[in-house]
Every structure is written in C-alpha cells, then in structure tokens.
A and B are shown apart, each in its own frame.
Chain A
C-alpha cells in the first residue's frame, strides 16, 4: 500500500511543478554526469531503441515540416503545387505589402490580449467559487469541463445559430430582455466587427475550463494556515486574497497565461465559423489569413511566409514572457 501512496502523490507534485522527490526524480534535475561518472555513447546507444520512435515522430512531423515551411517561404510555388524556383524574400514582401496586413496584425494582438485577460480574470472568480465547499460542488466542477472536451467547432456553431436573425434563440433572448429592438437582430454574424466581438466571447468561454482548473490546482497549494494567520491578524477577505492567496498563484497563473496565449494565437475554428463567410479581411487574424492564402488563393508560398512570421511571433511571445514573468521560478 505504501507504493500506492507514493504513486498518487508524485504526479500531484508534477502538477504543481515542484521538483519531484525520490531517486528517479533526482536524476532529472542534477546536471548530467555529476554523481555516477560520465555517461558515454554506449548509454545513448542503449537509450535509442526506447526514445527513437518518439524522436522520429517529432523530427519527421513537427521539425521537418517547420523546415519545409521556412524553405517554401522563399520559393515560388504555383497553384498546382509546382516549385518554380527561388524568389528570395518576395513572398514576405507580398505578405507585408498586403494593404490589410497591419490591421490584421493589430487585430491579432487585440484578439490574444483581450481573450487572455478576460479569461484569466473570469477564471480567477470561478476558481474562487469552486474552491469553497458547498453541496453539489463536484457536479459544477464536472460541468465546467464540458467546453474543454467538446469540439470548439461545435460550440461555436451553436452560438452562430443562436445569433441568426429572426430564428436564433440568443438573438431572441436579446430581443426579449430589451437589449435589441427588432427580431431582425443586429446582423451579428454578417457584420465583421460584431462577428469578431462574439468570436472573442466564444474564445473566452472555451478557454475558461483549462484556466479555471489550472488556478484551482494553484489554489490547492496555498497552505490553509497562512490564510488562517491572515484572518487572525484581522485581514479582510479581500485583503487576504490579494496579499496572501494571489501571490501564491503566480506559478499557476504564469502557466495558464502562457498556454492560453499560444492557444488563442493559434485558434482557427472560432473565427473560421463565425467570420469565414464574411467577404473581405475585416475580421481576420494572422491565423485565419494563413488559411485564406492556402485555401482560397492557393498560395502555399505566401502562406508559408506568413506562417514563418506567425511562428516567430509565437517564439518571441514565449521568450519575452518567460524572461519577464519567469514562470519557472519556484514560488
């Protein structure tokens, strides 16, 4: 039974990012070769059969396509897919000289920042509710998972339907409560601006479960006695929250923000469903633009150039974020 207890406590350690204890964990964190003499090529040869399949999958299906993408961004590829030779940076010139590029770029920033900020703020509130004991809490926690497990496409489609003029039920609700005057509605999904705003709402909604769960995991690490102590000292609940609880959530929040930034930046299905049928480029982000280049214009070369730009943006965001927030710092 003792081994059982060990098993269950260790993944928990991993969840909070604390260094794992025990023999096996130590090997991971110490610099290689300090305790047991120098591991040599023979060790690598022994390891290969175990890690080679994973390595092959990562190299073949993640890193190699990334290389292909960089290479293609400097090539002239015909609509039928024939490589017609190098064009230097012409594809990049086409990306940046596209009149809608900078609006799209700014919209991408708005998209990521607004979604992530609201997601984190709302999740902090939901996590606070779900961290308190009350009858039925378990059911609420389970229900919160639904948008995480459900296909984002399908979640988005129900909102799209709900906003339809005349027969959409969300539209009807907005009419019934008096927020809009006519069942014709606002043309929510016909107008790029409103379609984009509703897309933001959906993106926040589907990002809440993961964020809430990460914050709940963080709240679980806040020691009960420090909260007790703050209470004893006469701190108000709000003050306790901001001075005792929130600082302890730093690690969880860092991870949540980082993963959300990447997810939201890469998000395609919401905007594809909500704004895909609107002509023009007034509701596009970099990600939907990449797919418009591939699917509508059949310009894989230009799409590759824009993908490289997107790729570099992701790397810069991650690097800056890690540098500024230092999410790996032990709290």
Chain B
C-alpha cells in the first residue's frame, strides 16, 4: 500500500465517528437535510466558544506568564496580559538553580522514547497473535492485560520501589522505561488487537497459499493495514510516558535523572518562584504532546474502552 492510500484510509477513518460504518449516512443527513435556523447555529457557536475558552484558559495564563519578567509575574497588581513580550525567557529558563532543566528534558525524552519502543516491540506480536490465533491460555492472557489496565503505578509504587532497589536499578532510566512500558502495554495491545481482528483472515490465508511465511504475512500484509492502530498506540504510549509522575517521583531521586513532570514540582513553595520559567518549560513540554494527541483524536477512546467493555 502506498503512502497516499494510507493517507486516504486515515482520512476516511477520521471522517467517521466511533459509531462505525452504519453511522456515516445518518450523520450526513443531519448535516445537509436538516435546515438549522441561523439563530440556533449562532447559539451553538456561542456555547462552543464558551467551552473553548474554558479549556484553553489555564494554558493561556501559562503562555502569557512565560513571556513576563519575574518582576511582572510577581507584581502585586498583576496584569492579565503581558505588557512586554520577553521571548528571551525561552532561552534563559534552561539555567535555573532549582533543577537542571536541560537534563530533565533529556530524561523525559529518553524515558518516553525507549518505553514507547519497548511497548511496540512487545505489544505488536502479542496483539497480532491473540487476534489471529487461538491457543490455550489466550483468554487468561487477555484477562491479565485488562488487569494491568485497571492498575496504575501509583498504587504499586512501594512494591516497585523495593523491587527495583533489590535489582540495583533504583534511580535509573531503565527502571522507569520498564515501568512505563509495563503499565501502558494494555492500551497498545487492545488497540492493535482490534485492528488486527478487523483484517479478514482470508487475506492471510491467500498470502500463505501463495507461499508467504508467517512473518512475511505479518510484515508485508498485516502491518500496512493496521498502521493507524500502531500510530495510535505509539502516540498514546508516548504521551502517557511523557507525563508520568507518581513512579518517577519515588524511583528517580537524582535531580538530573528526573523527568520534567517531577522536576518542575520543586519550584512550588519556593520563596521566590521563577514562575515565568516554569511556564516556559511547561509550554515547551505541552505543545508537542498536544499536537500528537490531536493527530489521533478520533481513536483516543477506542483503546481505553475496548478492554473494559469486552
């Protein structure tokens, strides 16, 4: 399948809400045949605008704060909007005494990237095989996957702490890579499982009759078709690892090893917090993952709910 075809598939999929194929025409009818009065459309737009304003508000405060000077952001009668725009904050913020922010950014990236790769490496074969073949213990395995979805690192932190201390992996990126991978595995398995299950088995069988081996079938026939599912799994895992907080807080004690989520909390309760830097770093950390999440908007719900409903 070529790139353009995949694109087309993605966009076809994107047009469709999670209701499935049968919903397409129904929704179209509502768009075109119903003549909605202008007043009502304006009312809906107003409601939409209110929702938009509420959801964007904290991040607007964050952004405006990030370009204020320390004197402005800590002035007794603050202004809502920055009076001057100090873009140099985005350069200066990386050298603050509270925590080594460049290292924290690197930690965040390394942990998130490797945990995501590990999830992909481990979840892809499992999702493929459980969707395609039956074997004794298959339901037990899938049940285990659901159980991990119900558990979060926070509730197991004391156990994780002791285990990784015994292994000598406390305060290492490796520990956080394993933890993030393990707790995000279930979403990846479920979303990819449902995509694999959606490919008619006949396609596999036809390829096998033509002499293709199992791995060839997986890589050449199936993977191009489940690509949207893989992208969803990658993005969701990456964003979750990027923002992980509870386990990192306990496992990573050296300042330089900590991800941004943990490092930034050190600014709270300081006598003179450099809020403009906190917000600058936050903006840098938030924008990429927000864009990633927006790319998989239509499939965000699927992987989270599929497991629970099954």
Smallest CB-CB separation from B108: which chain A residue?
A151
User: What 1/0 mask marks residues of chain B from 1 to 23 whose CB sits below 8 Å from any chain A CB?
Assistant: 00001001100110011111101
Q: Report A240 CB to chain B, min CB distance, Å.
A: 14
| Cross-interface CB contact of B309 among A17, A39, A47, A49, cutoff 8 Å | A17
A192-238 interface (Cβ within 8 A of B) = 205, 208-210, 213-214, 216-217, 220-221, 223-225
Q: Report A162 CB to chain B, min CB distance, Å.
A: 6
User: What 1/0 mask marks residues of chain A from 289 to 331 whose CB sits below 8 Å from any chain B CB?
Assistant: 0110111000010011001001100100010000000011000
User: Is A108 interfacial (CB 8 A cutoff)?
Assistant: no
Once the chains are docked, how many angstroms separate the CA of A213 from the CA of B59? 20
In the complex with contacts A10-B195, A23-B202, A61-B178, A39-B136 CB distance below 8 A: yes
Contacts of B194 in A (CB 8 A): 10-11, 13-14, 20
Contacts of B17 in A (CB 8 A): 12, 216-217, 220
| Cross-interface CB contact of A134 among B20, B45, B152, cutoff 8 Å | B45
- A157→B264 contact, CB < 8 A: yes
Contacts of B144 in A (CB 8 A): 55, 58, 63
User: What 1/0 mask marks residues of chain A from 170 to 211 whose CB sits below 8 Å from any chain B CB?
Assistant: 101100000000010000000000000000000001001110
User: Is B78 interfacial (CB 8 A cutoff)?
Assistant: yes
Contacts of A307 in B (CB 8 A): 155-159
Contacts of A40 in B (CB 8 A): 136
Smallest CB-CB separation from B281: which chain A residue?
A154
In the complex with contacts A50-B128, A255-B305, A314-B196 CB distance below 8 A: no
Once the chains are docked, how many angstroms separate the CA of A220 from the CA of B225? 25
Once the chains are docked, how many angstroms separate the CA of A310 from the CA of B158? 12
Once the chains are docked, how many angstroms separate the CA of A4 from the CA of B122? 26
- A146→B182 contact, CB < 8 A: no
| Cross-interface CB contact of B56 among A70, A146, A223, cutoff 8 Å | A146
Contacts of A18 in B (CB 8 A): 20
Contacts of A255 in B (CB 8 A): 304-305, 308-309
Contacts of B126 in A (CB 8 A): 50-51, 53-55
- B242→A151 contact, CB < 8 A: yes
Count the A residues whose beta carbon is within 8 Å of the partner chain — how many? 138
Contacts of B234 in A (CB 8 A): none
Count the B residues whose beta carbon is within 8 Å of the partner chain — how many? 138
Q: Report A249 CB to chain B, min CB distance, Å.
A: 13
- A159→B269 contact, CB < 8 A: no
| Cross-interface CB contact of B61 among A63, A68, A146, A169, cutoff 8 Å | A169
- B150→A314 contact, CB < 8 A: yes
Once the chains are docked, how many angstroms separate the CA of A225 from the CA of B27? 11
Contacts of B139 in A (CB 8 A): 32
- B182→A61 contact, CB < 8 A: yes
User: What 1/0 mask marks residues of chain B from 230 to 242 whose CB sits below 8 Å from any chain A CB?
Assistant: 0000000001001
Smallest CB-CB separation from A171: which chain B residue?
B78
| Cross-interface CB contact of B122 among A17, A22, A54, A294, cutoff 8 Å | A54
Contacts of B73 in A (CB 8 A): 167
Contacts of B158 in A (CB 8 A): 69, 72, 290, 293-294, 300, 303-304, 307
Most chain A Cβ neighbours within 10 Å, of B12, B26, B155: B155
In the complex with contacts A32-B134, A40-B136, A166-B245 CB distance below 8 A: no
- B125→A28 contact, CB < 8 A: no
Q: Report B80 CB to chain A, min CB distance, Å.
A: 6
Contacts of A43 in B (CB 8 A): 133-136
Smallest CB-CB separation from B5: which chain A residue?
A4
Once the chains are docked, how many angstroms separate the CA of A53 from the CA of B182? 11
Q: Report B99 CB to chain A, min CB distance, Å.
A: 13
Contacts of B148 in A (CB 8 A): 58, 62
Contacts of B185 in A (CB 8 A): 54, 57-58
In the complex with contacts A65-B159, A149-B239, A149-B293, A129-B44 CB distance below 8 A: yes
Contacts of A251 in B (CB 8 A): 309
Which residues of B pack against A, CB within 8 Å? Answer: 5, 8-9, 12-13, 16-21, 23, 26-27, 29-31, 36, 41, 44-45, 47-49, 51-52, 55-56, 58-59, 61-62, 65, 73-78, 80, 118, 121-123, 125-126, 128-139, 141, 144-145, 147-148, 150-152, 154-163, 165, 178-179, 181-183, 185, 189-191, 194-203, 225-226, 228-229, 239, 242-243, 245-246, 249-250, 260-262, 264-265, 267-269, 273, 275, 278-279, 282, 285-286, 289-290, 292-294, 297, 299-302, 304-306, 308-310
30 residue pairs of the A-B complex, CB under 8 angstroms, read: A4-B9, A4-B12, A7-B195, A8-B12, A17-B308, A25-B198, A39-B134, A39-B136, A54-B185, A67-B159, A69-B159, A126-B51, A133-B36, A134-B41, A143-B56, A145-B297, A145-B300, A148-B300, A149-B289, A153-B245, A154-B285, A159-B58, A167-B74, A209-B55, A255-B304, A262-B152, A273-B268, A290-B157, A291-B246, A327-B309
